[in-house]
Chain A
Amino acid sequence: MPYMQRDALIQASQFQSTAARTPPGLVVQQLSLSYPGNGSALVDINLDIPAGAVTAVIGPSGCGKSTLLRCFNRMNDTIEGCRYSGAIYVGDNNVLAAATDVTALRRRVGMVFQRPNPFAKSIYDNVAYGPRIGGIRRKRDLDEIVERALRDVALWDEVSDRLHTGALRLSLGQQQRLVLARTIAIEPEVLLLDEPASSLDPISTLKIEELIYELKHTYTIIIVTHNMQQAARVSDWTAFMNGGKLVEFDETDRIFTNPVERATEDYITGRYG
């Protein structure tokens, strides 16, 4: 039953002709990953992430949820000795293939991290960073991109009068929205959010969640969070992971009212596992 609904959802988004663009869904096939000296971090993950929706990945610390997220843009490549097998399709391309141009992939699959990590540059230069390394040089084009990205994350009104001051002077909540703007500025198709609100106060958290809701029409969003209420609030689909394995994947409504797996139930109701 859930699978049929999921397929319908994917199809529906594929046939959306009115939308300006259609983000791709992600298909994970038999993904396994290991770190040196640390055994298996991911074990045989199979997962269909629907397009144009928010998918939350939840699970206890060390369950591999962040590791899974970092597979989607090959961020794990920066870790020495990390080995993986299987396939992840973003649209038609296998991300994990050796031939994949990783920098091009990362421009398709953007990522926002746990702690806000703006560069030690001005607000403007932070947002313009991605477009600039993408080869956009004309000031008029950059101005336009920066303004649109900042408007998209509802930061424009707060910073438009000090675009050329240091980004590190912003509050943490503003910094995280700036980082989101920086990611949006390169127009990715998929957004990976790694506990994007875990270091923010509740109001900033709500702002980020509101943004996620706004952005999901144009992006396929995958959010890793240890805050279950947050997953329940923002996501359409929820994946529960434990011990490097995918335990359950279903519509968020179902996961939070009537999960199938016992382990899921125990985790989201806060019982001893």
Chain B
Amino acid sequence: MIMATGQSLPGQRRWQRVLGTLMIWLTAAMVTLSVLTAGAFLGLLLWFAGSWLTAEGMASGGVLVRFWGNLQQLLFQPSASLGIEAMLPAIIGTVIMIILMTVIVAPLGVLVAVYLSEYAKNTWYTELLRIAIQNLAGVPSVIFGVFGLGFFVYAVGGEIDGWFYAETLPRPTFGTPGLLWASLTLALLTLPVVIVASEEGLARLPTSMREGSYALGATRFETIIRVLLPAAGSSVLTGVILAIARAAGEVAPLMLVGVVKYAPTLPVSLQAPFIAFEQKFMHLGFFIYDVAAHANVGEGRLGLICAAAVLLVGLVMLLNLTAVLLRKRLRDRYQALSEE
């Protein structure tokens, strides 16, 4: 309007406008750059992985045949010549550990979030608790590994062995790194994400929704279980998705609490109790590290690493996709509140 009347903007306002425009362009450029970089990186990964898998090595024939052959070899058979183990046990180990972690972290995180959001009064204590939780997210992951080893493996695991597996001592059962401790350690690592997301989800629900439930004679517990948590479900799932993404990428702490280069048996079986909580297991992230550090593959090493990396990335994406679809279904059914 000022422009239309032919007057120039006051100096300060003109400067602010120029600055604003500049910021928008800068942001756009940076976003584009990062997307391109990520794309290029993924492309390179695929390229290296592909060329290694289709290279004439263990199998021979056409490109597709070589690809299948090499992939099968990689997945199912350990290779003495390459100095690597089969990849499938590592994939299964990773998936089982993440599922187990999710099962632990989701209820635990929701429980803490419910306490903070619905029960706790605003005192210095809860304030301290919130700060502690947020700081927990900033602790280097290897520290969690150290904690897991010290607390879960030695303290808790040692105690359990003393009570339930005394006859096999001194050979430890739970008093040694294993699947359960690894899952618990990662659960602890990702707990802040789930808590913060869930608490925000609960806090966003209007007071009127709680009052509506109370007014029908519901107790606070009934209100939380039947009204608030279903309504905050998509926020909780968002937290869980973030937790899975974070957990799938962790290797360092796992090396301390349960992951090994080679495990003779899978941590799952078709016979009860189906999951061997105390067993050590293989992990895709560790596999990549192992290949990078120790394998005897000469020129093809980079391609092998890339193939494993592509698999890991694909796995994380798959897990995320499942959770995202679940959240979408939940939202579709009851239309998100935020759209109001």
Contacts and interface: CB of A to CB of B under 8 A. Distances in A.
A119 B212 contact: yes
Interface string B301-340: 0000000000000000000000000000000011101001
Main secondary structure of the interface of B (DSSP, over half): helix
Nearest to B230: A120
Nearest to A116: B208
Contacts of A24: none
Contact of A75 (B215, B219, B230): B215
Contacts of B230: 119-121
A156 interface: no
Contact of B337 (A73, A120, A186): A120
Contacts of A110: 215-216
A257 interface: no
A46 B274 CA distance: 69
A260 B67 CA distance: 95
A129 interface: yes
B76 interface: no
A9 B335 CA distance: 47
Contacts of B226: 129, 133
B232 to A, nearest CB: 9
A115 B218 contact: no
B208 A168 contact: no
Nearest to B222: A133
B121 interface: yes
Interface in B202-220: 206, 208-219
Given A115-B208, A117-B211, A182 B335 contact: no
B98 interface: no
B217 A119 contact: no
A111 interface: yes
Interface in B44-76: none
A130 interface: yes
B206 A186 contact: no
Contacts of B214: 75, 78, 106
Contacts of A167: 334
A103 B208 contact: no
B82 interface: no
Interface string A96-114: 0000000111110011011
A81 B177 CA distance: 51
A113 B211 contact: yes
A169 interface: yes
Contacts of A103: 217-219
B213 A129 contact: yes
Contacts of A29: none
A169 B206 contact: no
B231 A119 contact: yes
Interface in A120-167: 120-122, 129-130, 133-134, 166-167
A147 to B, nearest CB: 18
B340 A168 contact: yes
A183 interface: yes
A92 interface: no
Contact of B335 (A115, A117, A168, A186): A168
Interface string A191-204: 00000000000000
B227 interface: yes
Contacts of B121: 80
Given A166-B333, A166-B335, A168-B340, A117 B216 contact: no
19 contacts: A75-B211, A80-B121, A106-B215, A107-B217, A113-B208, A114-B208, A118-B212, A119-B212, A119-B213, A120-B209, A120-B231, A121-B334, A129-B213, A130-B216, A133-B222, A168-B337, A169-B335, A182-B212, A186-B216
Interface of B: 121, 206, 208-219, 222, 226-227, 230-231, 333-335, 337, 340
4 smallest A-B Cβ distances: which pairs?
Answer: A120-B231, A107-B217, A117-B208, A111-B215
